[in-house]
Chain A
Amino acid sequence: MTSPAPTLALSQAGRRLAGRAVVRDLDLELARGEVLGLLGVNGAGKTTTLRMIAGVLAPTSGSVRLGGEDLYEHPELARRRIGYLPETPPLHVELDAEEYLRFCARLHGVARGAVAAAVARAIERCELGEMRRRPLGTLSKGYRQRVGVAQAIVHEPELIVLDEPASGLDPVQALRLRELVRGLGREHAVVLSTHVLPDVSACCDRVAILHRGELRHAGEVHASATTSLRVGVARALRADDWRALPMVVAAEPLDLGHWRVELAPGSAIDAFAAAVVAHGFGLTALGADALPLESTFLAIAASDAPAAAA
């Protein structure tokens, strides 16, 4: 028996714009219930990739498949099955949220009788209740972004594509948006682009890092089997001193009083802390180290030579 086709599958997808290859040979898959974070510095090709996924921009090579069907051979698939929030929410500012969402629902093929319920559901999920009758042009940036998300989900698509959804939001708004995306990821397949690493670690299951139009890394966000810690000690130590602790697999100095220490899979952090104290290292601080993702991202962003996708 063959397994069902993934919600989204990019196969060797590439796009040239103005004679330049903006995106090359992308291979990606995404299933319902997953959130994929597309990371990359500005100009890495994130927006072009998302536009190909959203059905706006046909790939010049390769294919984009939705549930096994080619999106550009069946463009009508996008109407019902994809929700897209571009970098700037496409709001008709002279209308209020309800009028606008009613149009979006109908545009995406929601039956006339089901529009009211679909709009009410999107308004509730995006917490737009108080603002539903206000002209969109008078809303704050955070609320505009929420209306943008609401138009992307009003027709309950299988695939939701969000381009920099947290861009320009204050920390509280960004947090609420992450919660919303996390919630959407339980029922839909979600692709979001960002260059904010905490966004990816907070709401994504998987990450793909693009650089200069190429996929340089793809994997689980929380895939690291080891635990990486940042440890402050009062004593001057050598790497060998750390290896004397049974749960430590690697240690490197960050500065005179701080080390990055990696523990073996399954190691308990309290046991590690007890061992550090027992060895008299003079523990002054203990915290989670930066995500392994960050070092991967920074290394890719700093590199210019093409590398094989992980």
Chain B
Amino acid sequence: MKILRGAIIALMVLAIVGPLVWVAMNSVKTNTELFGSPWSPPKVLAWDNFSRGWNEIGARSFVNSLIATVATLVFLLPIGAMAAYIFAKFPFPGRGTVYALFLGGMMFPNFLVAIPLVLLYRDLGLLNTMHGLVLAYVAYSLSFTIFVLTGFFQAIPEELREAAEIDGGSPSRTFWTVMFPLVRPGLVVVGIFNAIGLWNEYPLAMVLLSGENSTLPLGIASMAMAQNYRADWTGLFAATLIAMVPVLIVYLKFREQLQEAMVAGAVKG
């Protein structure tokens, strides 16, 4: 039993770490070596793959991705938390329906609205702008954010709100000074999941941005398409690795809090 469990875990680790290692390994090979022996470790370290990869995707798309992800989170987390707080703590007529509508958004593939969205954005003058992209990202990420945070707010004992109310807190002051800090584990969870999703987001960026304005996934995708005519696969591997690094850093930074939140999922006094 123990051996079987170990084997299953080992297989899962291999499935997750394997591709990562493979990409890292191939990102420092030469193109000839890559095709000659794709599974063996590199003999010569070809670091210039990274400069080629970086130039190809462009610093601009890296920065754009960074802006899109960070700006989205800056708006998304407070807005999502405020909505989730209301859903969790304040019963009002039609609450269930409104909540269900929000959750319904999670089941709606975003490329289904791509065409109406493009038309709408064109009329509003938001097409091919970063703030337009951020707006769409915030809207699309709200369902998941509200869904997760509602659970966290529900776990906060009612007495804390009442205590703050008696202490003299207005509803907004109570929210920002007591409730918002208490769902920090939840904010970390939705923050990381959204960050990963947004960093890798392709379809919306694809239809809303064009030309100079591109994000990292767009840059890498166009690079991959270019491989039909050119053969710089190792440069592509290097670019992919560059794209992965920020996400890995964020994950490693918040790993403990993430695990804590997954296990506890509640705030205890």
A binds B: no
Interface residues of B (CB under 8 A from A): none
A interface residues, Cβ below 8 angstroms from B: none
